[in-house]
Amino acid sequence: EAAVTQSPRNKVAVTGGKVTLSCNQTNNHNNMYWYRQDTGHGLRLIHYSYGAGSTEKGDIPDGYKASRPSQENFSLILELATPSQTSVYFCASGPDRGRSQNTLYFGAGTRLSVL
């Protein structure tokens, strides 16, 4: 099974501060994703990447940046954190098999609280 590791698992940040969430996958998947999960909204896609050096905007990218420095690592960056970004963030990876076989493998999540 794909191994996707997120750090930190829990984070408390202050409004206006910078937050970096990290994700590492060891299965050589081309594609990686950042989702946030909120009650009443399910999982929503923030950013994704096709490979090292690539980042793309998802459905709710405002207030977030992403970085993919290598095949294994994908970071989510909140330059100026706001309380509305309090959420649980999930990283996922998946093989590049197009829309016909796109099973994603998820990390354990990062619970972020912005005070």
- List of residues contacting other proteins (CB under 8 A): 31, 33, 40-43, 45, 48, 50, 56, 58-59, 90, 92, 94, 96, 98-109
What's the CA angle centered on 29, arms 49 and 24, to 5 degrees? 75
Smallest distance, other proteins to C-beta of residue 82, A: 23
Element (H, E) at 74: strand 73-78
Nearer to other proteins, 38 or 79 (CB): 38
Nearer to other proteins, 52 or 108 (CB): 108
Cβ neighbourhood burial of 11 (10 Å; 0-12, 13-18, 19+)? middle
Smallest distance, other proteins to C-beta of residue 94, A: 7
